[in-house]
Structure 1
Amino acid sequence: MARKKGRDISGWLVVDKPAGMTSTAVVNKVRWALGAKKAGHAGTLDPAATGILPIAVGEATKTVPYVTDSLKCYRFAVRLGVQTNTDDAEGEVIATSEIRPTDQEIEQALDAFRGEIMQVPPQFSAVKVDGERAYALARAGEDLELAARPLWVESLTMTARPDADTVELEMVCGKGGYVRSVARDLGRALGCLGHVLWLRREWTGPFDAEDAVTIETIEDLARTPELDDHLLPLEAGLADLPELRTTAEGAVRLRNGNPGMVLASDVEWGDEAWASWQGRPIAVGVYKSGELHPTRVFNLPDA
C-alpha cells in the first residue's frame, strides 16, 4: 500500500473562513500549506457562512469528535417576510408575507427555540436519505420529508433589530444544529416566514477568533515555519476532558493500546479523560480504578 506523502505534523490550525468557500476547500488549503499528510475539520460551515473553522492536522484528527460535540456560538440575521428553498439568501424565493412581527412578539417566540428542541434539517443539507445527500436530491427536484432531530440550544437571544425586515440573533447550541432551520421555523412561528441573511460562527468548543488565521495569511505563509507557529497543540482539542498524568510504565502500556496507570485525580470511575507523560498527550480513554483504558492512542514523534 502506498504511503501518504506529507509531513508528520500534528496540531490545530483555526481558520476564519471567508464566505464563498466550502469547508472541504479550507481543509485542502491547510493540508497543502502545511504539507501535512492528513487534515480534517471540526464541524461544517455552509459556503456562504463565515467564521471559526478549526482544522485538525495529523494525529489531532483523532480529537475532532471532542470539538464537534462541544457547544458552538453563531451570530446571524434573519430576513423576515421571505422564504427560500434553501432557507438562506442563496436560494430561490418560494413564498412571501407582508406580516412583520414586533420586537416583543419575536422575544416571545424565541422561548420555543431554547433548551431541548426538535429540528428538521433544511432540504438543502448534507444529511443522508437512502444513502444520498439531501441537497443532491433537492437539486434534482425531489420534495423531501426529513426526520426531526434533537438539538440542545443553550441560549438564543435577539441582539439587534436593524429594520422591520431584519432581526439579528445569537445562538449557542450543541452538535448538529442548523441555523437555517432556526430562521425558517422562527419565521413560520411568527407567521411571517424567514430565511438566513448572513451567518457567522463566533466560536466552537475551545476555539475562538483569538486563535484564528485568515485564508490570506495561510496562503502568504504556506510551506514556511511561520505558518507552523500558528498551530495549536493537539491537546487543545481535548480542553473539555480532564487531563491525567501517567507514569513512565503507564505511558508505554498506553502507547501499546493497553490500560495504563494514571496518577490520582478527582475524576470518577467511567469518566472519559486523556493521559499525558512529560507534557505530551499519550491517549484518550476511560478511567477505571487507577488506570486509563485507551480508546484513541496518539502516535506522536519524539520531541
Structure 2
Amino acid sequence: MARRGKKKGRPVSGWVVLDKPVGMGSTEAVAKVKWLFNAEKAGHAGTLDPLASGMLPIALGEATKTVPYVQDGAKIYRFTVAWGEERSTDDLEGQATKNSDKRPARAEVEALLPAYTGVIMQTPPQFSAIKIAGERAYDLARGGAVVDIPAREVEIGRLEIVEHSPERTLFEIECGKGTYVRSLARDMGRDLGCFGHVADLRRMEVDPFTADDFVTIAELETARFGEAGRGKPSSDGQAPQEEIRLPDRFEDIDALLVDTVVALDCLPQVSVSDDTASRIRLGNSVVIRGRDAPVEAEEACATARGRLVAIGAIEQGMFKPKRVFGG
C-alpha cells in the first residue's frame, strides 16, 4: 500500500489581498505568495489578466474552502477604453482588427451607459477562459479558430465616466461575477461606431475586501525577509538557484493576513462557546442559543472567539455543520 507523503509547508490559513502588478499572471502571483508564506495550500478568487493590476484575493490553507463566496462577491474596476481601434483580444495584447477615425463626445458615451447597466446579455471575448467543448476559448483562438461563444447574463450595478477625452474614456464599474470588462469596451465601441479596446484595467475591490486590505509583493517580501529582502523568490514564485537560509519565524508576514471569516460577511454568523465549537468540529449538530440567533438559514457560519468554526445550515434552531475549520 502506497504511503501518503507528508504535506509540504505550514498549515497557515487566511487571505492575502494582493495588489497584483501589471505583467504578473494570477497563477504566478499565487505561487509567489504561497512560497513567501511557506503555505501548504493556496488558491485565488477570480483571475486577473497579466495586463491588469489590482486586487487579487489569494486564499491560504483552510481559507481555500471560502473561495466560492469571494468569487461571487461584487467587484469594482477602473478601466480606460481607447477609442478608434478594435483588437483581437479586446485589450493591448492583441492585433488591431478594425479601425475608425471617429471619436465619441462625452455626451454620446454617457447616453450609452443605461444600456450597459442592470442585467444585460454579454458575449465573452474570443481570448477568454470560457470552456468550449472542453477546451479554453483562448487556446482555440490562439490556434486560429473563430470561437462561437454564446452570450450570457451578467449584472452591472453601476457604470460611470470618471474622465473623458476624445481619444480615451476612464470608467468605473461595479459588477457581478462573470462580467468581462474587455467585452464592454468592444461592444460600446461598436455601438458608438468608433470601435474600442481596453488600454488599462485595475480591479479596485472584491467584496468583502477593500483597498484598506491591499498588500504588495514588496511588502510581503520585506515582512518575510527584512528590509534587505534577502532570499527573495524569483518571479515564478520558486526559490532562486543559490542556497538561501529562511528564517524560522513568520510572525511579521502572518500579521498581513486577513482572517478567513471575513470572506463570509455575506452569511449570518452565530457565536458559540469553545465546548460547542469542539462538538461542531466533530460533525455534530448543536442548538443555537441567544435572543437574536436565527432559527432558519440555508447557509450560516459559526464562530468561537471570533474564529471560524464551520459553515452549515440552521434548521429549527439547530446549526448543522457542512464544512468545518480547524481551531
TM-score (norm 2): 0.88
1:100 counterpart = 2:103: yes
285-294 vs 21-30, which deviates more? 285-294
Given that 2:270 and 2:293 are in contact with CA atoms closer than 8 Å, whether structure 1 keeps it comes out as no
1:13 counterpart = 2:16: yes
How many angstroms does 1:258 deviate by? 3.3
Structure 1: gaps spanning 5 or more residues: none
For the residues of structure 2 that align with 1:67 and 1:38, how far apart are their CA atoms? 17
Given that 2:121 and 2:154 are in contact with CA atoms closer than 8 Å, whether structure 1 keeps it comes out as yes
Q: Secondary structure at the match of 2:252?
A: helix
How many angstroms does 1:268 deviate by? 5.6
How many angstroms does 1:249 deviate by? 5.2
How many angstroms does 1:251 deviate by? 2.2
Query: Deviation per CA, 1:114-151, whole angstroms, max 9, x where unpaired?
Result: 11111111111111111111111100000001011211
Aligned residues: 299
Query: Deviation per CA, 1:217-259, whole angstroms, max 9, x where unpaired?
Result: 2223336421111011111111222211234554233212232
1:44 counterpart = 2:44: no
Q: Secondary structure at the match of 1:91?
A: coil
Q: Which residue of 2 aligns with 1:277?
A: 304
Letter in structure 2 aligned against 1:170: E
Given that 1:15 and 1:52 are in contact with CA atoms closer than 8 Å, whether structure 2 keeps it comes out as yes
Structure 2: gaps spanning 5 or more residues: 225-246
Letter in structure 1 aligned against 2:267: L
Query: Deviation per CA, 1:185-235, whole angstroms, max 9, x where unpaired?
Result: 111111111110000011111212211111122223336421111011111
Matches within 5 A, 1:1-303: 1-161=4-164, 163-222=165-224, 224-248=250-274, 250-264=276-290, 265=292, 267=294, 269-300=296-327
Q: How many percent identity over aligned positions? A: 47
For the residues of structure 2 that align with 1:291 and 1:94, how far apart are their CA atoms? 59
How many angstroms does 1:60 deviate by? 0.8
Given that 2:190 and 2:196 are in contact with CA atoms closer than 8 Å, whether structure 1 keeps it comes out as yes
Given that 1:12 and 1:60 are in contact with CA atoms closer than 8 Å, whether structure 2 keeps it comes out as yes
Given that 2:295 and 2:318 are in contact with CA atoms closer than 8 Å, whether structure 1 keeps it comes out as no
274-283 vs 81-90, which deviates more? 274-283
Given that 1:71 and 1:174 are in contact with CA atoms closer than 8 Å, whether structure 2 keeps it comes out as yes
Structure number with bigger Rg: 2
How many angstroms does 1:289 deviate by? 1.1
* 4+ aligned runs moved over 3 Å, structure 1: 247-250
Q: Secondary structure at the match of 2:297?
A: coil
TM-score (norm 1): 0.94
> Quick one: structure 1 residues 15 and 236, their matched pair in 2 at CA, closer, same or farther if it must change by over 3 Å?
same
Letter in structure 1 aligned against 2:32: K
232-241 vs 69-78, which deviates more? 232-241
Query: Deviation per CA, 1:29-71, whole angstroms, max 9, x where unpaired?
Result: 1110001000111111111000011111111111111111110
For the residues of structure 2 that align with 1:76 and 1:267, how far apart are their CA atoms? 41
Given that 1:262 and 1:275 are in contact with CA atoms closer than 8 Å, whether structure 2 keeps it comes out as no
Letter in structure 2 aligned against 1:192: C
> Quick one: structure 1 residues 277 and 225, their matched pair in 2 at CA, closer, same or farther if it must change by over 3 Å?
closer
> Quick one: structure 1 residues 266 and 188, their matched pair in 2 at CA, closer, same or farther if it must change by over 3 Å?
farther
Q: Which residue of 1 aligns with 2:231?
A: none
